[in-house]
Structure 1
């Protein structure tokens, strides 16, 4: 393969100018290569730019010629439209003169208007309007809709042509106008010709043109065929005609490739700037896009640039390969010299042929001292020479140990260190063995660390023995106890009975109980121990009757030192904590009962007033009966009716008392499958007395077909009563008017976090909650009321969370003002039956 010529050598073969030659020699070889590559590439791009500039210049010249033609044709079309408007204006002015001379009556006006509308299709309607803006006569083209026609006797609609009518009256000259664009007059042009009678204003003749027809019949056909002609208003909005689409994004970036259509516009006389005619030239040529010459030049330039770039990249890859080879060689040499593992190569006779820098540093002997030496080597200790000689003979015979072997090595200064040697065959590039390769690692420090780890293990065992928790390890499928600390041995002895008992009571997978089971069923059915070992640890609380203690049991799987899968169980005595939790639950239960008593105490006056009504009715009925019986003025039917009313009032009083007793009665938490509607009804009846006393209206809504909930109905009623009573107090403190004193209670189903729940919400029209109150809303013993104890909402949230629900409070805003507050809580529908017993204690937490 011949050597390729570099760009610098090729460039030097051309005799340059003397000053250029001197400058060229001052450059570095890499810069010469770069210039040699960039010079032809720049020349190609300059050539392409010159061709593109030439095409752009020719295109601009063509656009200028087209623009001149557009201007001429637009001015010609404008003259034609102007003459047509002036002719119609002259005709209307003649009619106006005839009307002023009283030579034309309304019927004749209609006839002449009809003749003009038929003869000139751009005229849509002619109307004769007197000085009082009343239409005396009017004629409209058949194409005009009936609701757009002006009828004789009507008054000109206010605001339609008010300004132009007044302007024609003041100027006494014809006035053109465009009415305000509406759906019924889009594309109209109006002409107001004033009427005079003996020198005074006598009205106007209103002519209405169709701008679309004016464009169609006024613009010459040859102009309309060559251009997109349109009539625009003073704001540039198109009234009639066509337009050329806007240039695409590519055309905006390269206007000389996709030129924009030439456009010219001029006002239409005598209308003025209010009506502008615009013409846009259609593209009649494909421009540069369709020029084969342009694409041919561009393609050749691109191919030339591509070949130059490809040649430059090839040269660069060759230089990079050379540099990479040098760098790889230097890297390997540096790696061999910087590696911490000593490397030694021997031939088949045991002569040292190579040692690296690390090997020399370890032994203290230089490369010149070791290369070419035969055993015994100078780094062998004298006392281990026989052993090392036998080891070397085994190596040369191919009897090597895969895991290596440990030896002692003597440094040049006579000190010794521990080393591990690994021996492998040295294979050349042809696949033949040429000797043996030995790697040596200093393991003095690992040996020291291993001794420290052994001492640490002894200390760790001492710590486990002193723990106040029982620790035991037993393999799965066996009753062997692998490890047990001191506390376990005190509780259960040295057998696995206690370990298996704790595993069984905690409900974790344990051990096979008999040899028959082990014989009949394959142990673990081939399950990988690595996955079981990665399972998270589980914990449970159990009671051990033999010890009379509550234990918290935590267990996990682990791989024992011999590779077997084992289970570790850690048991901690929690009897004192369980006793404290039971006492706390009892105190919280008493707090709930006290909260209900406090609530009924606050409502005592209202309850007394409510009971006073049936008791007063009973007293009145009894006194009336006694009076009529003594006077012997009562019949048996009247007596029975009065007694029935008395019984109903007594029953009503008894119901009030019974409802209050069931609410304040202290009982153990009793969760049952309860319907929602009765709970809401009971709570509403309990708080209804308080609401009437505070003149607050209650509107409650319970959705149909709600599922039953596993709850304690008395606790849920306590939450609803507390929230309703707080809402009434908030409305009372806000001093709302009679129409704004209302509470809304809603119970609806919801879906929150992919679970079905029932939401209870209480919304009031009070003064809301301040930000600082919102942060401490559920804090114990915090209250915004002077006489409040601060345990109501805290207990409410505790009750809701014990039923696995959540409570939320938020202000209701009407714009920037607070219009009330909403307390809501939800209870999940599917509460597990087997969790209710454990959750009852959480109610009082």
Structure 2
């Protein structure tokens, strides 16, 4: 019988498609990449095999560990349940016994029998005690001695029995039971025998009255010994710990000095229903072999490491074999990449002028490809038809080696017929043997460069036209040489073409133009970086040119000239008209200040007359008295001298008042000088005191000690203070306030603010009716006044004076809740701390 041939199964469409895709991808890879994949394939397979073995071992180990943890948890719950049921059962029987005691079914002399019956079946009970509400022991029973303990010795029950005036665990548990009237467990403590115990105190309730407690003392060690299942204690270590994790009892006792080995599995549960911080801890130890101790694992790891080492050796050998090939390919690719990435068109010709090579940049520049150019003889396709003769002449010049070193500028034609400007450089083409084989030409498209150059020329022309049309003088001077590099029409009109005009406009600066007089021997800018000078500007300043009788606003900065030299540019604007207007405005302001002082003194005329009347009346009285006594020959020489001294003192007082008023109203030029705030306040208060006394207003003054010196015009600041004090007195007088509220406070203190820095603040606070909100907004407007006969220039002038001293003035109402209780005017004056110490010493 002939064997039956089974035809092969047809390939599935999915496997056929995968093979085709893999074959296509494999053929696309380079030979070196195919060798790398062929080497890395076995290496990856071995690494995956080792990872699978490690994962299997890890999974089995974790599964066994989880089983051990579950066993520990289950045994813990079993032990907890046994102890819990025992405690609940004992608690219920104790509650019934306490009920019998409360109903007097059990009396002190009959307590022993039920207590002994209860403790006989419960070896964990060490003591049973009955105490009344006053902590007097009625009866007790101790299972340790197994006999009645009605009159037990204090030594045995001292720590277990609650005592009056003692702070211990039994006493705190007794108080908690008395308050809650519910069975209460105590925290563990050491009893009189040195054993860890805890108490359960059951309240005795007699007709809703607390009559004492029934105390049962449990031994922690007995609970562990008798009620932990044997199979649990055989498998694991069971311990009872308190809230501080202190071991109270354990199924395993250590030898003295022996340290317990840390358990790998630990599970804690509360020792319910005690609720006193006791916890049941079960500790388990792993019995499985770890991953590191598994011999099979290390055998697999050693075999895998050996395989990986052999594969790495093979791969290193293949890398050394392919190193030369890769170096050659890299060198070729690098040279070709350089040629292809160049933006300059390269063209090579043989000695006859035939094109032998063009790079991609040349093709992109002309639009022709390599087939259109290589092998061509003149005329070339990129020559414009109307320039054949000129380009042929230039080609012959190239072939003869007479091309200029700076290149030649030609017109070239693209394939689409458009023209562009190009610059060509020609050099001999030398082979490795030193023989010239042709000519190498590099070509650059300069169409955009020419366009930019033409635009720059046009822009420079427009810029020059704008500068020439400016009304301001613009000049640029070389710093080192002192040469005038540029000057516009306005500068030439005022100063001509001389550099001295630039030096005159430089004003307070060290004029750079003067550097030219010293040649190269002096260079004040040596060592300074040019970039720092050109980036740094200068503040505008005003310069007066004597020869032109003009004021100029000059702005200067350093810049780098077109040839790289450091230069200084000045822009000077004629501000003569503005300065004349400012001078006129200043003169008007000075007249307004004098007028304001005269108006103030006019308003105070009656008060001044009253103030002068007192010393003049005293002088008259003294003189008449002396005349009468002299005629009567009834005066002695000492009395006459005393009367004359008093008369002179009153005359001096009147002269001083007149002198201060004349100094205040005298017209003088504003003059700043070192002044002390205390002196300014003293002069102002002397003048304002006349008005204050007339209006019956009290003034309280506080001037801080050791204030810095102010650089101010004292007369103007006195005018501001006098105006504010007079306004405050008028506001208080017009409000008709009672005498206790007719007060003004003047304070002078130093302050420091982020926006103003160090200043001295003058504050005038009154208790008048305050200012309306709409008035505060217009308070400093000229000719605006809240007085019927006011001119409206006082506060406006005060603001001008303070701001001219670089200070600030402000006004605000004072409130008590929603009620206005006064007004406060304050102004600040800046201080110069650098000069204060010496000036203050000189003034003092």
Question: Do the structures match in fold with TM over 0.5?
Answer: yes
C-alpha distance in 2 between matches for 1:722 and 1:429: 102
CA contact (8 A) 2:616 2:650 kept: yes
User: 1:118-143 deviations in whole A, cap 9, x for unaligned?
Assistant: 4346458523xxxxxxxxxx5x37x9
When structure 1 is superposed on structure 2, of 622-631 and 346-355 the one drifting more is 622-631
Instruction: Find the counterpart in structure 2 of residue 371 from structure 1.
Output: 374
Instruction: Find the counterpart in structure 1 of residue 69 from structure 2.
Output: 63
Instruction: Find the counterpart in structure 1 of residue 708 from structure 2.
Output: 707
Instruction: Find the counterpart in structure 2 of residue 573 from structure 1.
Output: 574
C-alpha distance in 1 between matches for 2:222 and 2:731: 79
The DSSP-based 3-state class of the residue aligned with 1:572 is: strand
C-alpha distance in 1 between matches for 2:219 and 2:728: 74
Q: 1:734 to 1:410 in 2, by over 3 A?
A: farther
Give the count of matched residue pairs: 717
C-alpha distance in 1 between matches for 2:422 and 2:773: 71
C-alpha distance in 2 between matches for 1:758 and 1:500: 39
Q: 1:380 to 1:666 in 2, by over 3 A?
A: same
1:748 corresponds, among 747, 750, 753, to 750
The DSSP-based 3-state class of the residue aligned with 2:514 is: coil
C-alpha distance in 1 between matches for 2:739 and 2:55: 84
CA contact (8 A) 2:363 2:369 kept: yes
User: 1:548-575 deviations in whole A, cap 9, x for unaligned?
Assistant: 2223344444555566555444433221
Q: 1:17 to 1:194 in 2, by over 3 A?
A: farther
Where do 5+ consecutive residues of structure 1 fail to align? 1-14, 101-111, 128-137, 151-159, 169-173, 180-187, 232-237, 244-256, 834-845
C-alpha distance in 2 between matches for 1:508 and 1:569: 11
When structure 1 is superposed on structure 2, of 521-530 and 341-350 the one drifting more is 521-530
Q: 1:814 to 1:584 in 2, by over 3 A?
A: same
CA contact (8 A) 2:135 2:162 kept: no
Correspondence 1:506-517 to 2 at 5 A: 507-512=510-515, 514=517, 517=518
Correspondence 1:711-790 to 2 at 5 A: 711-717=712-718, 745=747, 747-748=749-750, 750=752, 757-760=758-761, 762=763, 780=781
User: 1:516-565 deviations in whole A, cap 9, x for unaligned?
Assistant: x3375579658776665555366543222222222334444455556655
When structure 1 is superposed on structure 2, of 562-571 and 81-90 the one drifting more is 81-90
Q: 1:359 to 1:767 in 2, by over 3 A?
A: farther
Shift of 1:370: 3.5
Instruction: Find the counterpart in structure 1 of residue 268 from structure 2.
Output: 263
1:420 corresponds, among 403, 423, 427, to 423
User: 1:728-780 deviations in whole A, cap 9, x for unaligned?
Assistant: 99999999997998858352364858x97244264969899999989969975
CA contact (8 A) 2:808 2:829 kept: yes
Shift of 1:577: 1.5
Instruction: Find the counterpart in structure 2 of residue 229 from structure 1.
Output: 241
Correspondence 1:162-311 to 2 at 5 A: 227=239, 229-230=241-242, 261-267=266-272, 275-281=276-282
1:829 corresponds, among 829, 832, 835, to 832
User: 1:35-77 deviations in whole A, cap 9, x for unaligned?
Assistant: x999999998787666555444433433343335545666788
The DSSP-based 3-state class of the residue aligned with 1:372 is: coil
| Pairing 1:498–2:501 present | yes
Q: 1:549 to 1:393 in 2, by over 3 A?
A: same
CA contact (8 A) 1:344 1:359 kept: yes
Instruction: Find the counterpart in structure 2 of residue 92 from structure 1.
Output: 131
C-alpha distance in 2 between matches for 1:542 and 1:75: 104
Shift of 1:580: 1.4
CA contact (8 A) 1:346 1:352 kept: yes
Shift of 1:90: 2.0
Shift of 1:576: 0.8
Where do 5+ consecutive residues of structure 2 fail to align? 1-8, 27-36, 92-118, 140-149, 188-197, 249-261, 837-844
1:440 corresponds, among 428, 443, 446, to 443
The DSSP-based 3-state class of the residue aligned with 2:353 is: coil
| Pairing 1:126–2:163 present | yes
1:468 corresponds, among 452, 466, 471, to 471
User: 1:496-519 deviations in whole A, cap 9, x for unaligned?
Assistant: 4434444466543323464xx337
The DSSP-based 3-state class of the residue aligned with 1:668 is: coil
User: 1:618-638 deviations in whole A, cap 9, x for unaligned?
Assistant: 859977997999899998799
User: 1:244-288 deviations in whole A, cap 9, x for unaligned?
Assistant: xxxxxxxxxxxxx9988422114556xxx6x45334456766999
Instruction: Find the counterpart in structure 2 of residue 182 from structure 1.
Output: none
Instruction: Find the counterpart in structure 1 of residue 409 from structure 2.
Output: 406
The DSSP-based 3-state class of the residue aligned with 2:581 is: helix
C-alpha distance in 1 between matches for 2:537 and 2:365: 47
Instruction: Find the counterpart in structure 2 of residue 251 from structure 1.
Output: none
Shift of 1:579: 0.6
CA contact (8 A) 1:782 1:791 kept: yes
C-alpha distance in 1 between matches for 2:612 and 2:646: 10
Q: 1:667 to 1:217 in 2, by over 3 A?
A: farther
CA contact (8 A) 2:65 2:286 kept: no
Instruction: Find the counterpart in structure 2 of residue 679 from structure 1.
Output: 680
C-alpha distance in 2 between matches for 1:214 and 1:771: 86
C-alpha distance in 1 between matches for 2:421 and 2:439: 21
The DSSP-based 3-state class of the residue aligned with 1:546 is: coil
Correspondence 1:319-334 to 2 at 5 A: none
CA contact (8 A) 2:618 2:650 kept: no
Q: 1:579 to 1:824 in 2, by over 3 A?
A: closer
The DSSP-based 3-state class of the residue aligned with 1:511 is: helix
Task: Using structure 2 for the length normalisation, give the TM-score.
Answer: 0.60
C-alpha distance in 1 between matches for 2:23 and 2:816: 80
Instruction: Find the counterpart in structure 2 of residue 586 from structure 1.
Output: 587
CA contact (8 A) 1:538 1:556 kept: no
Shift of 1:719: 5.7
Correspondence 1:97-112 to 2 at 5 A: none
Instruction: Find the counterpart in structure 2 of residue 107 from structure 1.
Output: none
Instruction: Find the counterpart in structure 2 of residue 7 from structure 1.
Output: none
C-alpha distance in 1 between matches for 2:747 and 2:539: 43
The DSSP-based 3-state class of the residue aligned with 1:583 is: helix
User: 1:360-406 deviations in whole A, cap 9, x for unaligned?
Assistant: 68768775553322345465578976765564455456665454221
The DSSP-based 3-state class of the residue aligned with 1:510 is: helix
C-alpha distance in 1 between matches for 2:278 and 2:65: 26
C-alpha distance in 2 between matches for 1:124 and 1:623: 106
